[in-house]
A = this chain, B = another copy of it.
């Protein structure tokens, strides 16, 4: 039985094994069509997310598993002050794997104590989002052949983005990555310090730029992140931050012709649709990989349990 709580828990070898499983799934999908038959996967979203929830649910269905879906737990009796952990424990009794999302940093480790089936983190607070990072890394691996030695730029609301921070943690597994950031300490954050551990990779500090325009010529990949409008009280400050980070077609002329543009979608205004038809667009490819990478995650996490029967609770039932 294996959990997936954070990309930090995976070794480089485990990540590469997972990429091999993805390649295997893509070549011979039918082989896996009943791989999880008789299993029940529960998606338990205390914060709603169509993209990630559907990605995991489609993955479960593609592998023959059944799905219990809790798309928005905010609607339930938890409103009455009842216990989150009683709920997760119960769900753990009901299914063979729990895919959970929650807004609070650190809650997954507490949930883990209540659940005796594999727990898969589908997004946690502002830091962890391992399935997204595996999709992002697989997309880089597919495109570049190797992730080592890349110059990766990130721009947007990095401070509040679990996708960006989890990606940085994932890139640490590879060698000689150089991290480039646009203005990671946003205007709205003035006076607060940007967490140092996010601003460096394996001891090498990130290069910081004051705008996308300045950064784009220096990177192999640019990963654009939503600027969280809802965090700004001053609309003008939001607009200034957006202008600094926003990527549109005209800026591509300043970049290497082999630049790759990534985004975990859906987007707001930070990534112009005029990029969609360019060869730089790899964000649709990321979206395309959403199911197959999560299928590999489910196979990895459920494999050790493969000898359990349909009711799957072994001796304790």
Contact = CB atoms under 8 A, between A and B. Distances in A.
Given A48-B76, A77-B49, A94-B58, A82 B226 contact: yes
A49 to B, nearest CB: 7
A90 interface: yes
Interface in A1-56: 25-26, 29-30, 32-33, 38, 40, 42, 48-51, 54-55
Contacts of A287: 86, 89-90, 93
A146 interface: no
Interface string A140-174: 00000000000000000000000000000000000
Contacts of A89: 265, 284, 287
A212 interface: no
Interface in A82-97: 82-84, 86-87, 89-91, 93-95
Copies held by the complex: 3
A41 B267 CA distance: 24
A124 interface: no
B268 A26 contact: no
A68 interface: yes
Given A80-B229, A313-B288, A54 B267 contact: no
21 contacts: A26-B311, A29-B311, A29-B312, A30-B309, A30-B310, A42-B58, A48-B76, A49-B76, A58-B94, A61-B66, A80-B229, A81-B229, A81-B269, A82-B226, A83-B267, A86-B265, A89-B284, A90-B287, A93-B287, A93-B290, A93-B291
